[in-house]
Amino acid sequence: MSVLVYTESEEGVIKKIALEAVSYAKGIADQMGTSVTAISINANNTSELAKYGASKVLEVSDDKLNKFNGEAYADAIAQAAKNEDAKVIVLTSSANSKFLAPTLAVDLNAGFVPNVVALPERTSPFKVKHSVFTNKAFAHTEIKTEVKIVGLGKNTFGLKESETSMSNEAFSPNLDAHDFDMEIVSVDKATDQVTIADAEIVVSAGRGLKGPENWGMIEDLANTLGAATACSKPVSDMGWRPHSEHVGQTGKPVASNLYIAIGISGAIQHLAGINSSKVKVVINNDPEAPFFKAADYGIVGDAFEIVPQLNEKLKAFKAQNN
Partner 1 sequence: MKILVCISHVPDTTSKINFTDGDTKFDTNGVQFVINPNDEFGLTRAMWFKEKQGAVVHVVNVGGPETEPTLRKALAIGADEAIRVNTPATDGFSVAKQLANVVKEGGYNLVIAGRESIDYNGGMMPGILAKLTGSNFVNTCIGLEVDGDKATVIREIDGGKETLKTSLPLVVGGQKGIVEESDLRIPNMRGIMQARTKPLTVKEPVDASAETATVSFEKPAPKGQVKLVDNVDQLIDLLHNEAKVI
Ligand X SMILES: Cc1cc2nc3c(=O)[nH]c(=O)nc-3n(C[C@H](O)[C@H](O)[C@H](O)COP(=O)(O)OP(=O)(O)OC[C@H]3O[C@@H](n4cnc5c(N)ncnc54)[C@H](O)[C@@H]3O)c2cc1C
Binding residues: 207, 263-270, 284
Q: Does 145 participate in binding ligand X (rule CB under 6 A)?
A: no
In the list ligand X, partner 1, none, the entry touching 273 (Cβ below 5 to 8 angstroms by class) is: ligand X
Under DSSP, the state recorded for 180 is: G
Q: Which is nearer to partner 1, 164 or 265 (CB)?
A: 265
Q: Does 206 participate in binding ligand X (rule CB under 6 A)?
A: yes
| Residue range at the interface with partner 1 (CB under 8 A); choices 38-46, 50-58, 198-206, 207-215 | 198-206
Burial 80-90 (b: 16+ CB within 10 A, else e): bbeebebbbbb
Contacts of 103 (CB under 8 A, 6+ apart): 70, 71, 74
In sequence order, what DSSP letters do the residues of 233-266 get, joined into one string? HHHHHTTSS-GGGBBSTTSB----SEEEEES---
| Residue range at the interface with ligand X (CB under 6 A); choices 14-22, 55-63, 212-220, 281-289 | 281-289
- In the region spanning residues 218 to 247, those forming contacts with partner 1, defined by CB under 8 A, are 225, 233, 237, 243-244, 246
Q: Does 314 participate in binding partner 1 (rule CB under 8 A)?
A: yes
Cα angle at 244 between 15 and 139, to 5 degrees? 65
| Residue range at the interface with ligand X (CB under 6 A); choices 46-54, 142-150, 215-223, 279-287 | 279-287
Member of 56, 148, 233, 280 binding ligand X (CB under 6 A): 233
CB 272 within 8 A of CB 136: yes
Site string for partner 1, 129-168 (x = CB under 8 A): x-xxxxxxxxxxxxxxx-----------------------
Q: Is 111 exposed, middle or buried (0-12, 13-18, 19+ CB in 10 A)?
A: middle
- In the region spanning residues 249 to 268, those forming contacts with partner 1, defined by CB under 8 A, are 249-251, 257-258, 268
CB 100 within 8 A of CB 74: yes
> How many residues touch partner 1 (CB under 8 A)?
91
Q: Which is nearer to partner 1, 172 or 317 (CB)?
A: 317
In sequence order, what DSSP letters do the residues of 74-106 get, joined into one string? HHHHHHHHHHHTEEEEEE-SSHHHHHHHHHHHH
- Which residues of the chain form contacts with ligand X (CB under 6 A)? 206-208, 232-235, 248-251, 263-265, 267, 269-270, 273, 284-286, 289, 302-304
